[in-house]
Amino acid sequence: MNNRFKWTVVGTSSCIVALLLIGARNGRAVAADDVYGHLKVYTEVLERIKLEYVEDPDMKSVTLGAINGLLESVDPFASYLNADQYRQYERTEDTAKAGVGLVLAKRYGYVAVVDALPGSPAEKANIATGDLIESINNVATRDMPLAYAEQLLRGDANSTVEITILRVRNPDPQKIKLTRTNVPFPDVTAKLMPGEVGYVHVTSLAGERLAEVKTQLQNLKKQGARYVVLDLRHCSTGDQEKGIGLANLFLDGGEITYVTGQKTPRKEYDAKPEDENWKGPLVVITDRATAGGAEIAAAALQDDKRAQVVGERSYGDASIRRTIQMDDGGALILSVAKYYSPSGKAIQDTGVVPTVQLTENDNSPELDQDGNPIPGTAPKNNEDNLLKQSIDLVTGKTTIAQLRDEANGPIINEQHPITQKAPEQPQPER
């Protein structure tokens, strides 16, 4: 680990400890819901920094860092854009721009990768879930608004953008040049596998993908499928409400989800049974890049006891976001309501925890001597053991208890990639 990364971690940790100490000192004097009391504490901290810090600080940067730190602490997908950034953001939103195929969030103050879309320039560069983007075109992402980072990654087709990555496997910064392109959302794929198992792989809920899932299920029925494995790995894009429709394709009744917020009245979404719905045995696969609508569907199918969910815990991104214009000409992009599972868990806070947590084979490419992936090298293992285990489970060749034993028990301390909390594990049926 190089000194640059070490000091980044140390600096981040020091800030967190300092804020915790400030909270501890003032928590007794300031009520939890006293906005002005907390604002007074915040103002005093700024004054102390201005008057007593070892060097004369750049108060604009300090304030911006504080705002973005505040937002990240409550919402990893929130952004504050100043007036100039907001004007650029609006222009970018109004024009079709090419991109590099990354789905992003904030983590540790940096821009973090939720997913690299299949077939995108980012995936071809072996950028993966959990990697941190340290800079974009030499502009540091530390305290950069998430929406602004997304804007910087977009541009004209065939133009290039250079990013610096801190990888999960190797924390030393690595510069990567990506060529922007119009990244298509992959089609839904399906096939009938041995043992009368229908396999449906959904990597996006954008566009007409939900209708494609419905068509593929009907085709599998005609081909004689008796079981279905619904693979939602790397399904991180598309309208979140499409997840409600996806769950509905497998349910005969019950609640799918509900959405509510501080100023958003609770709205419930119940299943609307249809004759062509899939009613046979079902297993759902998730991973760390399963996000948004796919999580809503997985949570509903699990809570309604319609399917066993296996794989890795999903990312945790299911909320309604709104752009709020500010008096300074800027804007705040903030989650104003969250989607909840039928059992009452906020999906954005915990993700979807599988009934049994299983990991995929190490199918990463070969690494060079510095621990960086070598582009174009073949994966170490092409066999999809997670799919094989899912097929055995849905056909009754194995049980949840046996899978748990094979996996040496659930990973009960696995932390959510954003909240860093380990949620309670569901109690699987034996």
What's the CA angle centered on 209, arms 205 and 212, to 5 degrees?
145
Of residues 212, 75, 219, 199, the one with CA closest to residue 147 = 75
Confidence of residue 366 (pLDDT cuts 50, 70, 90): low
Neighbours of 188 (CB within 10 A): 22
Would the pLDDT of 365 be above 60? no
**Residue with the larger pLDDT of the pair 4 and 76:** 76
Domain contains 355: yes
Same domain membership, residue 224 and residue 310: yes
Same domain membership, residue 162 and residue 83: yes
Same domain membership, residue 143 and residue 125: yes
Mean pLDDT of 318-347: 96
Q: Give the per-residue pLDDT at 30.
A: 54
Over the stretch 384-430, which tens digit does the pLDDT of each residue have? 899 999 999 999 999 999 988 887 644 433 444 444 444 444 444 43
**Residue with the larger pLDDT of the pair 72 and 149:** 149
Domain that holds residue 89: 79-179
Same domain membership, residue 168 and residue 148: yes
Domain contains 151: yes
Looking at the DSSP bridge assignments, the partners of residue 189 are: 201
The region of weakest confidence among 41-45, 58-62, 375-379 is 375-379
Would the pLDDT of 162 be above 50? yes
Same domain membership, residue 347 and residue 288: yes
| Residue 23: partners with Cβ closer than 8 Å, 6 or more residues away | none
Domain contains 70: no
- Taking a C-beta distance cutoff of 8 angstroms, is the pair 112, 133 a contact? yes
**The model's pTM:** 0.81
Same domain membership, residue 279 and residue 152: no
Which residue among 152, 179, 206 closes a domain? 179
Q: Give the per-residue pLDDT at 405.
A: 84
Mean pLDDT of the chain: 84
Of residues 265, 206, 268, the one with CA closest to residue 238 = 206
Confidence of residue 91 (pLDDT cuts 50, 70, 90): confident
Looking at the DSSP bridge assignments, the partners of residue 283 are: 229, 308
